[in-house]
Amino acid sequence: MPELHPDVAVLAPLLGTWTGAGTGEYPTIETFDYIEEIAVGHIGKPFLTYSQRTRATADGRPLHAETGYLRVPSAGRIELVVAHPTGVTEIDEGTLSVTGDGLDIQLDSTAIGLSRSAKSVTALSRSFQLTGDELAYNVRMAAVGVPLTHHLAATLHRQQG
């Protein structure tokens, strides 16, 4: 495997596979529980690869997936570019802070792209807190006429091997 590019060295603690459980809610849907896997990798370039997939806790059916890239354009700044299979693309920008044993990432969408068949999503906000081998996140979303509100929360753990 190539060496980690120095521009994303600060994100090295995110590398690996993370699994855990979460809960989703939104004013227009029933609350649901899910199991999630996030994989963060690199190919030696100035970005990290990001992929996520979830399935229902109750019966294991697939729920959502997304894929994208993390970049660090300057010290203390971070970008996340994501494509969703639902016809939504998002560009998020925000802050990156190194904590005692982890990272704190705060992101807000700066651009949302929608295919003609996609539901109307107008804003997304994500926060990640990495502490050791635990990664917790929250997602807020503005969609289908609902203003920015809580949508997802999960706690994941680094998988060994």
Q: Where is the binding site, in residues?
A: 28, 119, 151
Residue among 18, 92, 12, 74 at smallest CA distance from 48: 12
SS (H, E, C) 72-136: CCCCCEEEEEEECCCCEEEEEEEEEEEECCEEEEEEEEEEEEECCCCCCEEEEEEEEEEECCEEE
Binding positions for heme b are 28, 119, 151
Give whole-number Cα distances, 29 to 61, 126, 146, 148, in Å. 17, 20, 12, 15
